[in-house]
Amino acid sequence: MISDAVKKQINERLSKTLKDKVEVKVYVKPGGSKLVLPKQYDCPTCPHAIELAEDLKTCVPEALGIEIVNVMETPWVPDSDGDVPLFAIQKPGEQARIFYKGLPVGYEFEPFLANIEKVSNGDSGLSAESVQSLSKLDKDIEIMVFVTPT
């Protein structure tokens, strides 16, 4: 899925910018067959998600851990509506707080890599003022970001 030239660019970038190891869990359902199955049983993009994750792992194997989670065999952990594929980015041993629904390709790939870097470095990219304002929240909130080409 990722060309050798792009893998080299990813390796050059992430080998310089990643500080700590990062885990990416990829939640998938088996499937992708050409049969038309009910949504709860099929995931036509899941094979591509697995391939993308495995390609990404080869770019920086020492800093990036990949785990493929079959949601039909493993209890559903992320707070989600069950749509897959779902990519969860986290530090080892910590709970993921960044999730990508679908395939992070095209315009979504750069922010996906940037979030891997931010998790690795423990830097949200927010200003000190924003961090201070957010620290005053007294309950969990969910922030959804949509990436579009326009």
pLDDT at 82: 72
Report the length, in residues, of the chain.
150
List the domain boundaries for the chain: 4-134
Question: Six-digit token pair at 21?
Answer: 């190891």
Instruction: Give pLDDT, residue 41.
Output: 62
Confidence (pLDDT) at 146: 79
DSSP string, 43-105: -TTHHHHHHHHHHHHHHSTTTEEEEEEETTTS---SSS-S-S-EEEEE-TTS---EEEES---
Predicted TM-score (pTM) of the model is 0.85
- pLDDT above 90 for 76: no
- Nearest-angstrom CA–CA distance, 24 and 26: 6
- At residue 44 the predicted structure's pLDDT band, cuts being 50, 70 and 90, is confident
Q: Determine the pLDDT at residue 36.
A: 57
Which tens digits make up the pLDDT trace of 106-127? 889 999 999 999 999 998 888 9
66 in Cβ contact with 120 (< 8 Å): no
The pLDDT score that the predictor gives to residue 6 is 95
CATH number of the domain at 4-134, please? 3.40.30.10
Q: Which of 4-13, 39-48, 62-71, 96-105 has the weakest average pLDDT? A: 39-48
Return the structure tokens found at 29: 């359902």
